């Protein structure tokens, strides 16, 4: 019996797509990419940031996490990755569904929805509302109230 792939495995597979091969890794960007990786990547990155797949992984997670990107070239790369990531994730979702890999299909669908809505599936759905302050989200997500108590 095979174990199901982790979310980190699947985002790595997605970032290795041919769609993202033309994303260039530039030496002057590596410092900011490392900073983004430490600050706004909740999932493990399985490729080094010196490879296109690692850079795509970090920029995609930073995009979903709504991190601020400063470098113009990184903003451009992030926009390119974000515009294609949802489509790639949905294509991989369809492939997994047709091949009977339900666990991976669910994870790719969650990833596609996260790309579209710009918040992670493990975060509060209230993040869809931009009007609320960030500290409200943090308080809600840290609150561990069970449905029986409330």
Average per-residue pLDDT for the chain: 87
pLDDT of residue 128: 73
Q: What is the pLDDT of residue 58?
A: 96
- pLDDT the model gives residue 85: 94
What DSSP letter does each residue of the chain carry, written as one string?
-PPPPPHHHHHHHHHTSGGGTTPPP-GGGHHHHHHHHHHH--SPP-S-TTSHHHHHHHHHHHHHTT-----HHHHHHHHHHHHHHHHHHHHHHHHHHHTT-HHHHHHHHHHHHHHHHTS-TTS-GGGG-TTS-HHHHHHHHH----TTT-
Percentage of residues in the chain with pLDDT exceeding 90?
74
Give the pLDDT score at 28: 94
List all residues 6 or more positions away from 85 whose beta carbon is below 8 Å from its beta carbon. Answer: 14, 60, 63, 112, 115
**What mean pLDDT do residues 72-83 have?**
95
pLDDT in tens, 88-97: 999 999 999 9
Identify the top-confidence range among 69-73, 127-131, 133-137: 69-73
| Average pLDDT of the residues in 25-50 | 93
Confidence of residue 115 (pLDDT cuts 50, 70, 90): very high
Tell me how far apart the alpha carbons of residues 17 and 9 are, in angstroms, rounded to a whole number.
Answer: 13
Q: How confident is the model at residue 20 (pLDDT cuts 50, 70, 90)?
A: very high
User: How many residues does the structure list for the chain?
Assistant: 150
Residue in the structure block whose two tokens are 């995609």: 60
Confidence label for 126 from pLDDT (cuts 50, 70 and 90): confident
């Amino acid at each position: 019996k095979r174990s199901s792939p982790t979310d980190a495995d699947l985002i790595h597979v997605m970032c290795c797509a041919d769609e993202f091969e033309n994303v260039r890794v530039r030496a002057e960007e590596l410092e900011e990419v490392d900073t983004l990786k430490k600050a706004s990547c909740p999932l493990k990155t399985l490729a080094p940031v010196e490879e296109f797949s690692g850079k795509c992984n970090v920029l995609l997670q930073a995009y979903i996490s709504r991190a601020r990107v400063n470098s113009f070239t990184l903003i451009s790369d992030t926009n390119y990755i974000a515009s294609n990531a949802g489509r790639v994730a949905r294509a991989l979702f369809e492939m997994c569904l047709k091949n009977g890999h339900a666990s991976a299909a669910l994870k790719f669908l969650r990833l596609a929805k996260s790309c579209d809505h710009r918040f992670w599936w493990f975060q509060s759905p209230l993040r869809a509302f931009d009007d609320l302050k960030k500290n409200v989200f943090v308080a809600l997500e840290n609150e561990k109230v069970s449905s029986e108590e409330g």
